[in-house]
Amino acid sequence: MSVKVKKIQNKTIPQHSSRDKIKQNFKNFRSFTHELTKQLKPEDFTIQVVEHASPAKWHLAHTSWFFEAFLLEKAVDGYETKHPQYNYLFNSYYLQTGEPHCRNKRGSLSRPTIDEVFEYREYVNQHMLDFIDHSSESDFTKWKDVIEIGLNHEQQHQELLLTDLKYMFSQNPLHPIYKESYRPDRKTMPKNGWQHFKEGVYEVGHPGGSFGYDNELPRHKTYIHDFHLANRLITNGEYIDFMEQGGYKDPKYWLDEGYAMIIEQGWDSPLYWIKKSDMWFHFTMNGLEKINLYEPVTHVSYYEADAYARWAGCRLPTEFEWEVASETVEMNGNFVDARNFHPAPVENEKKGLQQMFGETWQWTRSSYAAYPGYETFPGALGEYNGKFMCNQYVLRGGSCATSKSHFRKSYRNFFHSKFRWQFTGIRLAK
């Protein structure tokens, strides 16, 4: 296949390392999305059981539309989309690119078929690879940042694909298994110790030199008081203690909106938990399993994390406390690369901070807001993060559904206080 790229001569451009790296990342990241769907049946691709969890088919198409809307249609002369309505169907919320289809009706689309969506992905892949191979150095330089945003966007949707599938499968009384996987086990758990950090002025935010989202910038100074951070995440067993001691019934631990959610939704445990014959089970990507007391508790809302911290006589960390503490730890963890699809217990008795990365997203008490001097990405890409800086809280650390290559210590995830379908957990501070 050959395309004419704007403002370049019709000749082959010598490849450079950055071009080769981006090309390889494009192939690898797009391929991993396909890997995550290999075990699905045709019926699994379309179903949508709640507005905030999109169908697998939509994720596959939306991530292709992203490359099409933000690069191919702008950079390649004469580019034609597979279907003129795809811009409507697979736009998420980018109003500057056109009107998006209703979010809560994504599961009502039987067409395009899943085969047609995979054809669409391959169509976009071929045009993107041709652009990477044959664009001029000036055009490649101009657009490579958009490609990197698209690749990181793809990795975000890989995580959403997994968590949305889990939510969808959890609604089925048959408790379908997404994929059987081995997970580390423990029979004991070290006591939760504390790491002390001194007050002072610290630099936080993305340090530069590699990809980062606009909401991680600019790097800036902030004052942090003395604080202690817990050495590990809160476990299922510790959270059960909170539940059994009336944690969900005592309003003194809860924010007003949180306690209203308990009354309205009937919450008495984390999402996916089921009690049978006085024993707790939870739905996992391995199907329904008995609760492992030593695994990190996950699928809790900000309200639940905050209430647990109050009950424990502690608090949640700020996002900057978490970031400062994370600089003392090597970035290893149970990311999606391990293909466990579930958080794992602490592996050993070593001292210092553990489970900082790649187990559960850790709620912080920091509202999601702009850094001093924040600037959005230009154009419609400016809608990526900035317009959501209202009524949400920051989470740090990545999860078992996050790719390690996608994560950075400055990475700021964010969700509304009530959401529980992501792999969200608790680390205490004081």
**Which of the listed ranges 101-110, 310-319, 385-394 does the model predict with the highest average pLDDT?**
310-319
Q: Which alpha helices (H) appear in 200-332, and where do they start and end?
A: 236-244, 256-265, 302-311, 319-326
pLDDT of residue 97: 76
Task: List, in sequence order, every residue forming a beta bridge with 274; answer none if it has no partner.
Answer: 281
- Flag whether pLDDT at 161 surpasses 90: yes
Q: Residue 103 corresponds to which tokens in the numbers above?
A: 């979010």
> What's the whole-number mean pLDDT along residues 266-293?
96
9 pLDDT band, cuts 50/70/90, is very low
Least trusted range by pLDDT, from 201-210, 233-242, 271-280, 379-388: 379-388
Q: One-letter amino acid identity for 214?
A: D
Least trusted range by pLDDT, from 249-258, 367-376, 382-391: 382-391
- Flag whether pLDDT at 389 surpasses 90: yes
Q: By the 8 A CB rule, do 333 and 359 touch?
A: yes
Q: Residue 402 corresponds to which tokens in the numbers above?
A: 């996050």
pLDDT of residue 17: 55
> What's the whole-number mean pLDDT along residues 319-340?
96
Domains of the chain: 17-170 (1.20.120), 194-425 (3.90.1580.10)
> What's the whole-number mean pLDDT along residues 370-377?
92
Asked if the bond preceding 173 is cis, omega within 30° of 0, the reply is no
Q: Mind listing the pLDDT tens digit for each residue in 43-62? A: 999 999 999 999 999 999 99
377 pLDDT band, cuts 50/70/90, is confident
**Which residues neighbour 196 within 8 Å (Cβ) at sequence distance 6 or greater?**
226, 227, 228
Q: How far apart are CA 253 and CA 259, in angstroms?
A: 9
The sign one gets for the Cα dihedral 266, 267, 273, 276 is: negative
Residue % of the chain over a pLDDT of 70: 96
- Flag whether pLDDT at 100 surpasses 70: yes
For residue 84, which of 63, 69, 106, 102 has the smallest C-alpha distance? 69
Q: Mind listing the pLDDT tens digit for each residue in 129-159? A: 999 999 999 999 999 999 999 999 999 999 9
Residue 193 region by backbone torsions, left for phi larger than 0, else alpha for psi between -120 and 50, else beta: beta
Cα–Cα separations (whole angstroms), residue 209 to 110, 212, 269, 404: 44, 9, 43, 18
Which carries the bigger pLDDT value, residue 9 or residue 430?
A: 430
pLDDT of residue 187: 74
- Residue 337, classified by CB atoms within 10 Å of its CB into exposed (0-12), middle (13-18) or buried (19+), is middle
1 pLDDT band, cuts 50/70/90, is very low
Q: Mind listing the pLDDT tens digit for each residue in 209-235? A: 999 999 999 999 999 999 999 999 999
Q: How far apart are CA 119 and CA 126, in angstroms?
A: 11
- Flag whether pLDDT at 3 surpasses 70: no
Q: By the 8 A CB rule, do 399 and 422 touch?
A: yes
- Flag whether pLDDT at 12 surpasses 70: no
pLDDT of residue 386: 87
Determine the 3-state secondary structure of 361 from DSSP.
strand
